[in-house]
Structure 1
Amino acid sequence: MTTASHMEPDALPVAAPRAADPGDGPDTSDSLFSRLPFLFSGHTDPTGLLNLTGLTGRPPRPDRPAPTTNQPTQPDQTSQPSQTSPTNPTPPPTYPPPSQPTATPPPSQPTPTPQPLQPTTDQRTPRVFDGWALDTCNAPSQETLRAWQDAKYRAIGVYFGGRGRYCRQQPNLTPDWLRATDRLGWGVLPVYVGSQPPCVVGKHRRRFTIGDHPWEQGVAEGRDAVRSARRLGIAPVSPLYLDIEAYRPGATACGRTTLRYIRAWSREVRRHGYLAGFYGSTGSGVRQVDRARAAGVPDLPTVMWFARWSGRPALYGEAALSRRAWHPHRRIHQYAGNVRETHGGHALKIDRNRVDAPVAWIR
């Protein structure tokens, strides 16, 4: 997701013990939320995210217009990423409240005023964030986050684990940092950079490719993602986003291997009570996962984070995704990358994202 020129990869692979491969059989893990205690009789899920057996729903609401900015836009490309009471059924608040569907978006609606993510203690359902997010390779200091409070961003992607992540050293990324970030009103998007496709485009990624047993490897790394999330205080029902970088779309065998790994990782993460998210390029991984969804393949991710650096956010205008899929509240568009921004005297190199999707619950 973030630039790699100065970043050190994690050189330790995750062991891949043998695991049963259910192939294309029934996806029993998709019903995992029915086994969690917060789903009691009569409970309704306003986010729609607990119904994991289907990835389609009501027609999506229109996108908000792109923000006004004096930063240069990036050329259109398909990702070379830079890296309450238990009896109270009131749902957690979202920021800002989703707008009602209309035939076309308002022609001159102003950019929404940035506000902190509203606090809530109801951890029975996913915590939806609707607004602007950044991701950057190293988790920034709390001083920097406070300096950025007047910027439009109210969520941040953090690279919390995986053998393929660039920023091996994360001095700020601790349970205390996550709790402080949450208290400041920032949503957290946890990103796991695991093994990469055998035909991955980036040469620096080829040290960390998926091996001969993609299902077993996906299970092992899904389990590693859960362990890493728990150590940091990222609670169940949170999303964990698997980062798969751009790969050659015409490589059929490579695509099959990659999809099996994605499915196994997603199934394992979901089995432990987390939401399985996916980040990828619209020209390869995103397109392949959406085609698998259309074909009825099980064990797919629940939330789609797609990279197309067009310079303009378009949650429901992406040609690689069906407009009737991956909603409600299941999309993130990374629309610009490797952009340097300064707020309050603190500069960061970031990727820009428009989000209508879950963020993490922090213990």
Structure 2
Amino acid sequence: MVRSRTAVLTWASAAALAVATVLATAPVAAAEPATTAAYPAGATATRYSGLAFDACTAPPLTTIRAWTASPYRALGVYLSGVNRTCAQPQLTASWVASVSALKWRLLPVHKGLQPSCGARASDAKISTSATTARSQGTAAATQAVTAAKALGMLPGSALYNDIENYSQTNATCRTSVLSYVSGWTKELHRLGWLSGVYMNLSLGAKQLADVYTSTGYARPDALWVARYDGVDSLKGWAGVADGKWAVHQRAKQFRGGHDETYGGVRVNIDTDRLDTPVATVAYPYRTTAAVTARSGPTTTAAAVTSYARDATVRVVCQTSGPKVGTSTVWDKLNTGAYVADHYVDTPSTTSWSPPLPRCTYPYQIASATGVTERGGPGTSYTALGTAPNGALAWVTCQKSGTAVGGTKVWDRLDNGHYVSDHYVSTPSGTTYSKPVPRC
């Protein structure tokens, strides 16, 4: 990602300070390092595991179609930032919708201020003041969210801040970078988005790993490293222990700029291996009959609104619920309401319909020793494994169970296991946390 990219957005330090002033009186998400993501009603997270590429300029839709012959099904797009340099004529809400409909996932990148002791001399830089750097990170998050929303991306998406190489021996510079990333993370969480960071493995990522449990910095949800060694493994990273960012929280750019050709179309790309959260979008479908949208994925949940036959609904994810017609699948809409999939013209009438993701709400594990995953919502259920500190708990629903640390709430994960909500950085430490549904 060190290739040149022309500035498209401007940086206004006065605006950054104004944002910081407003936020000084705003609610704080939670104490570092595991800050709470405040997902709004229509949010969900989307995950991708597989090969991806990123190009300086988002390719035309014709190229994406041609590249169905490639091994890639995800691509990085540069949506904002003062140091973003390539023009993005293709990157529109229509392009995002069309690419998503072709079952591609998107990895949104913000290339904003860069370290004062690294990157290019011409780049706009992060302040050497830790306090100002934190405010700049907050403003960067606001800018990236605004750009992502304009492209049709939704809360629950992961946004990645591109931080290029910097000196590892300059303590002032290092502290300002960590403060900037912390401000970025806390503000994204406050707005209901996931925080990702891109760094060189040896010239940045190790420093982030060193403060993984620090109470002075908010911890990002996902780490995307650059190391051009041709090895696409997401484990065995020098300086970053395998237990950090361990549960679908890693990506690696393992080959730098080079040309590849598929379907007769050549593109200059970087190559990545991902197992990480990406962008969430809504997919338009039509109702096949008059249907009631409800506050939860069940026929007993309160009615929110109704849709006539042939109405367009925007589905963000699918989850399980009581069987209606031939299916136990329920569709969550961008409004936060749910409708039985039986009444929506998704591809499958009996099961899940790609590219729709399953509804999940990732929160970081906040326990120094990790948390035990169990077969049910209680301490008497069989232990099935351990999720390490800082790992993402990919929560699908919540259920009452054995009391632990002042709460009876247990979180069901997307692997079917349960963990006590006491050890998860959900908004409430004592009761259910919206918008997570009940199991």
TM-score (norm 1): 0.70
Q: Residue 31 of structure 1 aligns to which amino acid in structure 2?
A: T
State yes or no: 1:10 paired with 2:15. no
**Deviations, residues 17-57 of structure 1 (Å, cap 9, x unaligned):** 1444999x824982234x644xxxxxxxxxxxxxxxxxxxx
SS in structure 2 of the partner of residue 16 of structure 1: helix
State yes or no: 1:26 paired with 2:24. no
Higher strand fraction: Structure 1 or Structure 2?
Answer: 2
Give distance in 2, aligned partners of 1:124 and 1:231: 16
Q: Residue 3 of structure 2 aligns to which amino acid in structure 1?
A: T
Partner of 1:128 in structure 2?
Answer: 47
Unpaired stretches in structure 1, ≥5 consecutive residues: 38-122
Following superposition of structure 1 onto structure 2, how do residues 170-181 of structure 1 map, counting pairs within 5 Å? 170-181=88-99
Contact 1:313-1:333 at 8 Å conserved across structures: yes
Partner of 1:139 in structure 2?
Answer: 58
Q: Residue 292 of structure 1 aligns to which amino acid in structure 2?
A: V
State yes or no: 1:184 paired with 2:184. no
Larger radius of gyration: 2
Give identity over the alignment, percent. Answer: 33
State yes or no: 1:253 paired with 2:258. no
Give distance in 1, aligned partners of 2:34 and 2:247: 20
Q: Which of 1 and 2 has higher RCO (CA within 8 Å, sep 6+)?
A: 1
**Deviations, residues 322-344 of structure 1 (Å, cap 9, x unaligned):** 11110210000110011111111
Contact 2:37-2:194 at 8 Å conserved across structures: no
Contact 2:197-2:220 at 8 Å conserved across structures: yes
State which drifts further: 209-218 or 283-292: 209-218
Partner of 1:234 in structure 2?
Answer: 153
Give distance in 2, aligned partners of 1:145 and 1:199: 37
Contact 1:29-1:271 at 8 Å conserved across structures: no
Give distance in 1, aligned partners of 2:91 and 2:128: 29
- For residue 210 of structure 1, the aligned residue among 78, 103, 127 is 127
Moved over 6 A (4+): none
**Deviations, residues 292-313 of structure 1 (Å, cap 9, x unaligned):** 1044544121000011110111
Contact 2:225-2:252 at 8 Å conserved across structures: yes
Contact 2:157-2:279 at 8 Å conserved across structures: yes
Partner of 1:96 in structure 2?
Answer: none
Partner of 1:199 in structure 2?
Answer: 117
**Deviations, residues 115-153 of structure 1 (Å, cap 9, x unaligned):** xxxxxxxx7542111100000110000000111101100
**Deviations, residues 203-239 of structure 1 (Å, cap 9, x unaligned):** 342x344364111111111111111111111100000
Partner of 1:320 in structure 2?
Answer: 239
**Deviations, residues 59-105 of structure 1 (Å, cap 9, x unaligned):** xxxxxxxxxxxxxxxxxxxxxxxxxxxxxxxxxxxxxxxxxxxxxxx
Contact 1:277-1:301 at 8 Å conserved across structures: yes
- For residue 197 of structure 2, the aligned residue among 233, 254, 278 is 278
Contact 2:33-2:219 at 8 Å conserved across structures: no
Distance of aligned partners of 1:10 and 1:36 in 2 relative to their CA distance in 1, 3 Å threshold: closer
Q: CA RMSD in A?
A: 2.2
Partner of 1:307 in structure 2?
Answer: 226
TM-score (norm 2): 0.59
**Deviations, residues 146-188 of structure 1 (Å, cap 9, x unaligned):** 1110110000000000111121x21000000000000111100
Give distance in 2, aligned partners of 1:211 and 1:164: 18
Q: Residue 183 of structure 2 aligns to which amino acid in structure 1?
A: A
Q: Residue 244 of structure 2 aligns to which amino acid in structure 1?
A: A
Unpaired stretches in structure 2, ≥5 consecutive residues: 283-439
Partner of 1:346 in structure 2?
Answer: 265
**Deviations, residues 2-26 of structure 1 (Å, cap 9, x unaligned):** 522xx42236213311444999x82
Give distance in 2, aligned partners of 1:2 and 1:346: 24
Give distance in 2, aligned partners of 1:201 and 1:283: 14
Q: Residue 187 of structure 2 aligns to which amino acid in structure 1?
A: E
State yes or no: 1:360 paired with 2:279. yes
Distance of aligned partners of 1:193 and 1:210 in 2 relative to their CA distance in 1, 3 Å threshold: farther
State yes or no: 1:291 paired with 2:289. no
Contact 1:222-1:268 at 8 Å conserved across structures: yes
Give distance in 1, aligned partners of 2:142 and 2:240: 28
Distance of aligned partners of 1:263 and 1:210 in 2 relative to their CA distance in 1, 3 Å threshold: same
Contact 1:305-1:333 at 8 Å conserved across structures: yes
Contact 1:309-1:337 at 8 Å conserved across structures: yes
